[in-house]
Amino acid sequence: MKRRPEFVPTVVLVLAALALLPSSCSRRQPDPAPAATQTADDVRARETTVRNVTENPVAYKIYPSGKPEARETRDIAPGAIDRFRTATPLEIEFNTGQRDAIYSLDPGSPYSFRYDEGTTIELFLGSHGRADAVDLAPWVPTPQPIVDRMLELASLSGKDVLYDIGCGDGRIVITAARRYGVRGVGIDIDKAMIDESERDAESAGVERQVKFICMDATKADISEATVVSLYLLPESNALMRPLLEAQLRPKSRVVCHNYTIPGWEEKQVLTETVKDENGEDHYVYLYIR
Ligand SMILES: C[S@@+](CC[C@H](N)C(=O)[O-])C[C@H]1O[C@@H](n2cnc3c(N)ncnc32)[C@H](O)[C@@H]1O
């Protein structure tokens, strides 16, 4: 799940420059001229966000790619979000605690400083830059063989109600409804993911058994759930723990992909290594509330 920003190849910049050239093939009316003070870059600019999900301030330098002379130094407080409107990639430099790191940030994408191993800090792709909601994890799907095994281990039966917290494209909820006849609810903050989940549920013919809700899952009512699935980062599982404890009835099952729930060691009844289609190992943890 952990994804580092990749260096953006120069070809992207070239394509961006080409996109500005007028097209002789199109008969479309030209767009209204931008206001005199706006440049083409101002018009195309999108918001890139950098969030600090660690417990300490993080110092970093940021500048438009290829313009190190415009380097700006920032110190971001824990929990804060810095915002940059940009039409072109930005370079970001910081120290992870072990080494100096430099990454390229895409215009319009959210990023988060998070702890990597122990106290080292890394910059990861995030899922959103909303200040009113926690960024629990970026969109990374659980491979289908892992979904299948998670649901087997949760021993689903027809009376269960499964909630997937941060449901992405809804695959866990949809598979549970299709294979086990259960009711399912998927919650995700990303509207595009919710729309995709609804379309996929309809294609799978389970739209009456499932519901997808677009909201911040940390504020959700999950009290009817008898089974909860989680594929979030470790600190996000920790953040969700009080909600699980407050709302789930005793004997509810919680099944996690790859990351444990810190503080629930005594509730953990099973750990299994499951291979995906490419032979890569994933970890599944089962808890009984
Ligand atoms: C790693 S994906 C897991 C997707 C799916 N559960 C699966 O296993 O295939 C995490 C999802 O959490 C969503 N997410 C992140 N922060 C969230 C929040 N505060 N509330 C609800 N969903 C959130 C992201 O949009 C993303 O789709």
User: Can you give the pLDDT at residue 36?
Assistant: 57
End-to-end CA distance of the chain: 25
User: Can you give the pLDDT at residue 116?
Assistant: 86
Residue 211 CA, ligand 1 centroid: distance in Å: 15
Task: Specify the fold of 10-17+30-125.
Answer: Immunoglobulin-like (2.60.40)
User: Can you give the pLDDT at residue 270?
Assistant: 95
User: Can you give the pLDDT at residue 117?
Assistant: 74
CA dihedral 162, 163, 166, 169 (to 10 degrees): 40
φ, ψ at 193 (rounded to 5°): -70, -40
Amino acid making up residue 267: K
Mean pLDDT of the chain: 88
Fold: same for 10-17+30-125 and 144-288: no
Rounded to 10 deg, the angle between the 171-180 and 191-203 helix axes is 20
Place 266 in a pLDDT band, splitting at 50, 70 and 90: very high
| Bridge partners (DSSP) listed for residue 59 | 75
User: Mean pLDDT, to the nearest integer, of 248-257?
Assistant: 97
Buried b (16+ CB within 10 A) or exposed e, 172-193: bbbbbbbebebbbbbbbbbeeb
CA-CA-CA-CA torsion sign (166, 171, 176, 182): positive
Ligand 1 atom nearest to CA at 216 = 20
Residue 143 CA, ligand 1 centroid: distance in Å: 14
φ, ψ at 41 (rounded to 5°): -65, -35
- The answer on pLDDT for 19 being more than 60 is no
- Asked if residue 190 has its Cβ within 6 Å of ligand 1, the reply is yes
- Asked if residue 220 has its Cβ within 6 Å of ligand 1, the reply is no
**Domain boundaries 144-288, CATH class:** alpha beta
- The answer on pLDDT for 255 being more than 60 is yes
CA-CA-CA-CA torsion sign (13, 19, 22, 24): positive
Tokens of 265: 């060691």
Cβ atoms of 216 and 134 within 8 Å: the answer is yes
Ligand 1 atom nearest to CA at 136 = 16
Closest CA to 227 of 186, 255, 194: 255
Cβ atoms of 204 and 231 within 8 Å: the answer is no
Q: Which residues have C-beta within 8 Å of that of residue 263, sequence separation ≥ 6?
A: 238, 241
Range with lowest mean pLDDT among 26-35, 172-181, 262-271:
26-35
Task: Give the 3-state secondary structure percentages of the chain, helix then strand then coil, rounded to 5.
Answer: 25, 30, 45
Task: Tell me the pLDDT tens digit for each residue of 68-98.
Answer: 999 999 999 999 999 999 999 999 999 999 9
Place 37 in a pLDDT band, splitting at 50, 70 and 90: confident
Q: Which helix (H) or strand (E) holds 164?
A: strand 161-165
- The answer on pLDDT for 240 being more than 60 is yes
Strands of the sheet with 81-86, listed across from one edge = 81-86, 46-52, 110-115, 121-125
Cβ atoms of 180 and 160 within 8 Å: the answer is yes
Q: Where are the domains of the chain?
A: 10-17+30-125, 144-288
List alpha helices for 154-288, DSSP H. Answer: 171-180, 191-203, 234-247
Residue 160 CA, ligand 1 centroid: distance in Å: 22
Beta pairing class for 210-214 and 183-188: parallel
